[in-house]
Amino acid sequence: MKWWDRLRSPEVALLGSNLLARALGFVASLLVSRSLGVASLGVYSGVLITTASPTTPMSAVLANNATMLAVRHRADASMWQLLVSHASLLLGSLLAAALGCGLMLASGNLLSSPLLDVRVLWPVAAGLVLGQLLSQVAMGVCHGADLSRQAAWVSGGITLTALLLVYPVLHYFGLAGVMVQAMLVAVLPALAMAFLLRRGTQAAHASRVPRAALSQQVKALFWQAAPNMGATVVNNATNWVSCIYLAERFHGHEGLGLVAISLQWSALMLLPVTSWSGRVMRALTLAHEQGPAALQHEMARQIRRCVGVTLLAVLPVLVLGQVIAMLYKADAALLWPMLAINGLSALLAAVNVVYERAYFCLGEQRPWLRVSVLAYAAQMLLTLVMIHWTLLAVAVGNLLAIAMVMVVVSFNLKQRLHAGKVSA
């Protein structure tokens, strides 16, 4: 494959779109922090994280299932009809996520914050929830319909436009303007991808699969993924309580802002691994077909790759920790240790990326759920004990949970693979 063909590949388009989304998040947060203060950044990030927490468990499952169904029915069903068949499940997920988001907002101090009008907060929160759910389903169908590159261009174009406009929006409309822009960036790509599916696939062929049958398959796959959703719900709930609720309650909006900055840079440390996680899954799947020994060997190879590339991402962040604090006008005495702890967490999380996908290969999801519940309970307990004295409790608790998952899962996987070798 020529270099020009590689640049035009769907993988490169998707990576570019994700990088633009990450750049928009960084630039918006940096401008809000420098222009309006770390407390305003805390409110901005708090709303985004709060709306994502109850939504992600369902949106991730819906996206994966949409891709599988689109591949399965690419020759006998309209992709637009497949998207429409998600309507009832999307509505139920929207109501559940909106209820969870409302309870989270009501239990914290964001509703009473003088930095953001509640008349702006509620519509923005609703739009963010709707946008994430619909965009994930639409993107999932696009992947299965081999429209990934077109979807990435659509999403990337909207994100790039928002990136170019974020400073004028902040300058003229303040925090409320940036919040509305974030909502539009969530909703508009979903609507654009839905339009792409309607125009690009509806007329291709008449659907030979009744919509009711498609809807039944959508619901069946959704409920089959209940253990995975359960683990994600526990994870998100723990992180929200630790990173948002407790941080804000004991350290105010400024403490929440520091946590938000550290989380952004943590995501950057893990960006290479999360970008190629699909390739990791493919490599492990191929190895699993050859037996337990091949799977174990491939796991070790992928762990070395993931940890190595994560280390390359962690080191510059640690070296530039003081500069990062200066850019955000944040307290370097607190921010740098949080970045350092999160750097160690990122290295361990890179190992867990491989382990989680190994469980998919083995067809086992319940052990991951059980270990996750235990680890996140320990994280919550440690954070509750330490948060009174230091904001570092958030990062330390997260490190504990990731380390517990890595140790227990590593032992469990070795036992399972050894048993498979013996039986083979």
Select from 223, 239, 269 the last residue of a domain: 223
Specify the pTM: 0.71
> In the chain, pLDDT over 90 holds for what percent of residues?
26
pLDDT of residue 68: 72
Select from 207, 223, 239 the last residue of a domain: 223
The count of structural domains within the chain is: 2
pLDDT of residue 336: 92
User: Worst-scoring range by mean pLDDT, 143-147, 162-166, 240-244, 336-340?
Assistant: 143-147
- Tens of pLDDT along 91-131? 888 898 889 888 888 877 777 788 888 888 899 999 999 99
Same domain (yes/no): 164, 270: no
pLDDT of residue 277: 64
The answer, yes or no, to whether residue 78 has pLDDT greater than 90, is no
The answer, yes or no, to whether residue 422 has pLDDT greater than 70, is no
pLDDT of residue 203: 47
Please give the average per-residue pLDDT across 22-44, as a whole number.
86
pLDDT of residue 1: 47
Same domain (yes/no): 179, 46: yes
The answer, yes or no, to whether residue 174 has pLDDT greater than 60, is yes
pLDDT of residue 276: 66
pLDDT of residue 178: 95
Please enumerate in sequence order all residues whose Cβ is within 8 A of that of 13, keeping only pairs 6 or more positions apart, or say none: 148, 149, 152, 153, 156
pLDDT of residue 210: 74
Same domain (yes/no): 188, 274: no
Domain that holds residue 360: 225-424
The answer, yes or no, to whether residue 312 has pLDDT greater than 60, is yes
Same domain (yes/no): 140, 208: yes
The answer, yes or no, to whether residue 165 has pLDDT greater than 80, is yes
Same domain (yes/no): 257, 356: yes
Same domain (yes/no): 65, 112: yes
pLDDT of residue 72: 74
pLDDT of residue 420: 59
- Greatest mean pLDDT among 13-27, 208-222, 367-381 lies in 367-381
Same domain (yes/no): 422, 317: yes
pLDDT of residue 191: 92
The answer, yes or no, to whether residue 193 has pLDDT greater than 80, is yes
Same domain (yes/no): 237, 175: no
Same domain (yes/no): 212, 246: no
The answer, yes or no, to whether residue 398 has pLDDT greater than 50, is yes
pLDDT of residue 424: 45
pLDDT of residue 6: 52
Same domain (yes/no): 204, 297: no
Select from 167, 202, 223 the last residue of a domain: 223
- Reading the block at residue 21, the tokens are 């989304």
Same domain (yes/no): 70, 174: yes
Same domain (yes/no): 204, 231: no
pLDDT of residue 3: 44
- Tens of pLDDT along 195-250? 888 876 544 455 667 777 778 888 887 887 777 777 778 888 888 888 878 888 88
Between 56 and 61, name the one with better pLDDT: 56
* Average pLDDT taken over every residue of the chain: 83
Between 228 and 184, name the one with better pLDDT: 184
- Reading the block at residue 284, the tokens are 């492990």
